[in-house]
C-alpha cells in the first residue's frame, strides 16, 4: 500500500503533491477530531452512571461533540477540495506532458505503437486514475490513521483491549495484502483490454469507408465485438476478484469488533474493568473499524492507480531525440547528406546516401514503392535521426539545431492531409498562429481555396470535421498548401501531394503549388511525370540507395528505372477504350 502511495505521489507535480500532503495532514486532524467522541462518551457515561450530571460536565461533553462534528465538517471540506484538485490536476497535467513529450519522439515510435494505446492512456487510463485518486488515496490514509488514533486511545483506556484491537488491525492488513495481490493479477488484463478496445474502435471508425467498400463489416464487426467482450470480461473478473476479498476484510473487522465487545464484557463481569470503561470500550468496538472498512475497500483500487502510473511512465520513458540544440539561423539553405544510413527494427531503409540539394532548386525523388523515398525526406527534416553519416542544413548538422529552429525552415504538404476540428481560418493559421485574417485571406487566395471557402455557410469560420471529413481531398490539399504558404518556410517538402487529386481540382492544386514554391527549395516525392521532368535534379531511390541522379533529359539517355518509369507513364496515358 505504502509503495503504491509513494509511486503516485512521485508521479504528481510538486504543487499537486503538496496538496495531497496537506490533505493527509488534514486527515490526521480529522482522525483526532473523530477520536474526540470517545472522551466525550466517557465523560457522559461516567456522569450518568455515577449520577454526577452537572452543568460543567454537560458543557464539556457538548463542547467535545460540537468541536468534533463541526471540525470534521470543515476539515473534510478542505481536505476533499485539495485531493480533488490534486487528483484531477495531476492527470490533466500528465496529458499535457505526454503531448509535449510526443512532439519530439522519433516517428518510428508511432509506427510500432498503436494510436489506440496512446489514446487509451491519455483518456481512459488517466481519467480512471484521476477519479480513483481523488477518493482512494485519502480514504485509505484517513481510514488507516483514524483507526490507529482510536486504537491508541483504546490502549490508554485498557491495554488488554488495545492489544486485541492491534491484533485485529494486523490480521486485517495481512489479508489486505493478499487481496491487493489478487487484484494486481487482473488489473493488468483490465487495462490491456481497455487499450485493445479503444484501438479497435478507432480503427473501425477511421476505416469505415474501406470496411463498407470491401464488404468486411461482418469480419471487422466480429473483431470489434470480441474486443468489447474482452473488456467486459476483464471488468467482471476484476470485480469478482475484489468483492469477495473486500467482504472477507469487512468480516475480519466485524469479528474483531465482536471479540472486543466480548472481552470487554468478560473483563467487566470478572471485576477487572469498571462499568464506565466497559461501556466506553463497547462504544469504541463499533467505531474503531468503521473507517478502516472504507480504507480496505479502496486499497484494492490503488493497484489500478499503480498500473495507470506505470503506463504513463512507460510513454514518458521513451527517449526523445536531442532537441536542445542552438537556435541557428543559417545564411543559406543548402542541404547536404553525407553517407547517410538509417535502419528501423534492424531493417536498413536508407543505405549510404550522399546528396546535395542547393538552395532555391527543385529536387524530385522517384523510385519504386518501399524504396525509401519518404524516409529520405523525413531524415532531411529530422523526423528521425540518422544511424550513420550526417544531414546538414546551411553547413550545420541538423542535430545541432534546436528542433523548433530547424522546423522554421521546413513546410510540408503530404498526400494524406489532416485538418483539425476547428475553423478553416484556424486550420490555415497552424502554419503561423499569430497571422492576421488579412494574411489568412492572402494565403488562401494564393492556394486557390478562397472561393470555395467563401461559398461555405460560415466562410472562414466554418468548422471542419475531425480530419477535415467535411471537405473533399482536393479542398483539404489546398488548405494544407495555404497553411504552408502562410508559414513561408524556405524549404518545401511535397510528399505525393497531387497523387490522388481528381481532375476537377488538379488545375487549382497545380496553381496553388506553383504559388507555394516560388523562390523556395523544393523537395518533391512524386509519380507524375509532368511534376518531375522540369526539376533541377531527379534522384532515383531503390532499396534505400541512389541508383540514378540527374536531369530528365540526362536520365532518359540511360537504361534504368527512370526511363522505364517514364515509358510506363507514357503508355498509360496513351491507353484508350475501344
Q: What pLDDT digit, counting tens, does each position of 551-563 carry? A: 888 888 888 888 8
198 near 118, Cβ under 8 Å?
no
Band (pLDDT 50/70/90 cuts) for residue 24 is confident
Superfamily of domain 2-316: ABC transporter type 1, transmembrane domain (1.20.1560.10)
- Element spanning 45, H or E: helix 37-49
351-352-357 Cα angle (round to 5): 110
Q: Quick one: average pLDDT of 339-345?
A: 85
The Cα–Cα gap between 30 and 74 comes to 9
Instruction: Supply the pTM of this predicted model.
Output: 0.64
Assess contact for 303 and 5: CB atoms under 8 A: no
Closest CA to 246 of 257, 238, 256: 238
**CA–CA separation, 523 and 414 (whole Å):** 12
Topology of the domain comprising 335-573: Rossmann fold (3.40.50)
Of the pLDDT bands very low, low, confident and very high (cuts 50, 70, 90), residue 381 is: confident
* HEC readout, 296-333: HHHHHHHHHHHHHHHHHHHHHCCCCCCCCCECCCCCCC
Question: Are residues 12 and 21 in contact, defined by beta-carbon separation less than 8 angstroms?
Answer: no
Do the domains spanning 2-316 and 335-573 agree at the CATH topology level? no
The residues with which 545 forms a beta bridge, in sequence order, are 542
Taking residues 305-322, what's their average pLDDT? Answer: 82
Mean pLDDT of 486-501: 76
Q: Are strands 396-397 and 388-393 parallel, antiparallel or unpaired?
A: antiparallel
Helix (H, G, I), strand (E, B) or coil at 532: helix
Sequence ranges of the domains in the chain: 2-316, 335-573
Under 8 Å between Cβ of 186 and 230: no
Over residues 334-353, the mean pLDDT reads 87
User: pLDDT tens across 385-410, in order?
Assistant: 888 899 999 989 988 888 888 888 88
Dihedral angle sign, alpha carbons of residues 220, 226, 230, 232: positive
> Which pLDDT value is given to residue 577?
40
Query: Which letter does DSSP use for residue 464 in this model?
Result: P
Q: Are 227 and 197 in contact (CB under 8 A)?
A: yes
- Over 70: is that where the pLDDT of 1 sits? no
- List alpha helices for 158-274, DSSP H: 159-206, 208-213, 217-269
Q: Which of 525, 381, 373, 505 is nearest to 449 (CA)?
A: 505
The residue with greater pLDDT, 455 or 143, is: 455
Q: Which helix (H) or strand (E) holds 446?
A: helix 437-446
pLDDT of residue 569: 60
At 576 the pLDDT is: 42
What crossing angle do the helices spanning 159-206 and 290-316 adopt, rounded to 10°?
40
Average pLDDT rounded to a whole number, residues 197-203: 74
> In the predicted model, what is the mean pLDDT of residues 420-432?
87
Burial class (CB in 10 A: 0-12, 13-18, 19+), 432: middle
Amino acid at each position: 500500500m505504502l509503495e503504491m502511495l509513494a509511486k503516485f505521489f512521485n508521479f504528481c507535480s510538486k504543487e499537486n503533491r503538496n496538496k495531497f500532503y496537506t490533505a493527509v495532514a488534514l486527515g490526521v486532524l480529522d482522525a483526532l477530531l473523530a477520536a474526540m467522541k470517545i472522551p466525550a462518551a466517557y465523560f457522559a457515561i461516567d456522569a450518568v452512571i455515577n449520577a454526577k450530571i452537572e452543568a460543567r460536565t454537560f458543557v464539556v461533553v457538548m463542547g467535545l461533540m460540537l468541536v468534533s462534528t463541526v471540525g470534521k465538517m470543515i476539515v473534510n471540506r478542505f481536505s476533499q477540495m485539495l485531493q480533488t484538485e490534486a487528483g484531477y490536476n495531476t492527470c490533466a497535467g500528465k496529458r499535457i506532458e505526454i503531448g509535449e513529450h510526443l512532439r519530439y519522439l522519433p516517428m518510428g515510435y508511432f509506427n510500432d505503437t498503436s494510436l489506440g494505446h496512446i489514446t487509451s492512456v491519455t483518456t481512459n487510463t488517466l481519467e480512471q486514475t484521476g477519479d480513483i485518486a481523488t477518493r482512494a488515496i485519502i480514504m485509505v490514509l484517513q481510514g488507516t490513521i483514524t483507526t490507529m488514533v482510536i486504537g491508541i486511545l483504546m490502549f490508554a483506556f485498557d491495554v488488554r483491549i488495545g492489544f486485541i484491537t492491534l491484533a485485529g488491525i494486523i490480521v486485517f492488513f495481512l489479508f489486505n495484502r493478499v487481496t491487493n495481490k489478487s487484484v494486481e493479477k487482473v488489473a493488468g488484463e483490465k487495462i490491456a483490454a481497455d487499450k485493445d478496445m479503444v484501438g479497435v474502435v478507432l480503427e473501425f471508425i477511421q476505416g469505415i469507408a474501406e470496411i463498407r467498400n470491401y464488404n468486411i463489416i461482418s469480419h471487422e464487426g466480429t473483431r470489434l465485438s470480441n474486443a468489447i467482450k474482452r473488456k467486459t470480461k476483464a471488468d467482471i473478473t476484476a470485480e469478482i476478484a475484489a468483492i469477495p476479498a473486500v467482504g472477507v476484510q469487512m468480516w475480519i473487522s466485524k469479528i474483531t469488533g465482536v471479540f472486543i465487545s466480548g472481552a470487554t464484557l468478560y473483563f467487566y463481569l470478572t471485576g477487572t474493568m469498571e462499568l464506565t470503561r466497559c461501556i466506553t470500550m463497547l462504544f469504541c468496538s463499533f467505531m474503531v473499524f468503521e473507517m478502516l472498512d472504507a480504507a480496505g475497500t479502496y486499497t484494492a483500487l490503488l493497484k489500478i492507480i499503480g498500473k495507470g502510473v506505470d503506463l504513463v511512465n512507460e510513454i514518458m520513458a521513451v527517449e526523445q531525440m536531442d532537441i536542445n540544440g542552438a537556435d541557428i539561423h543559417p545564411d543559406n539553405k543548402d542541404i547536404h547528406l553525407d553517407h547517410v544510413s538509417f535502419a528501423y527494427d534492424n531493417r536498413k531503409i536508407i543505405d549510404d546516401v550522399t546528396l546535395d540539394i542547393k538552395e532555391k532548386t527543385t529536387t524530385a525523388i522517384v523510385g519504386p514503392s518501399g524504396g525509401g523515398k519518404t524516409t529520405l525526406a523525413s531524415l532531411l527534416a529530422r523526423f528521425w535521426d540518422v544511424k550513420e553519416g550526417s544531414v546538414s542544413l546551411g553547413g550545420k548538422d541538423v542535430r545541432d539545431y534546436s528542433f523548433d529552429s530547424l522546423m522554421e525552415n521546413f513546410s510540408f504538404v503530404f498526400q494524406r492531409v489532416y485538418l483539425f476540428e476547428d475553423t478553416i481560418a484556424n486550420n490555415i493559421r497552424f502554419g503561423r498562429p499569430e497571422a492576421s485574417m488579412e494574411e489568412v485571406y492572402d494565403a488562401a487566395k494564393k492556394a486557390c481555396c478562397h472561393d470555395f471557402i467563401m461559398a461555405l455557410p460560415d466562410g472562414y469560420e466554418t468548422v471542419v470535421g475531425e480530419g477535415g471529413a467535411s471537405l473533399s481531398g482536393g479542398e483539404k490539399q489546398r488548405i494544407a498548401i495555404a497553411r504552408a504558404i502562410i508559414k513561408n518556410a524556405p524549404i518545401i517538402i511535397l510528399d505525393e501531394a497531387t497523387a490522388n487529386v481528381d481532375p476537377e481540382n488538379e488545375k487549382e492544386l497545380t496553381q496553388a503549388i506553383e504559388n507555394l514554391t516560388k523562390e523556395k527549395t523544393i523537395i518533391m516525392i512524386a509519380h507524375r511525370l509532368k511534376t518531375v521532368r522540369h526539376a533541377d535534379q531527379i534522384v532515383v531511390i531503390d532499396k534505400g540507395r541512389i541508383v540514378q541522379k540527374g536531369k530528365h533529359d540526362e536520365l532518359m539517355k540511360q537504361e534504368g528505372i527512370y526511363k522505364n518509369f517514364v515509358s510506363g507513364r507514357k503508355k498509360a496515358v496513351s491507353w484508350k477504350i475501344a
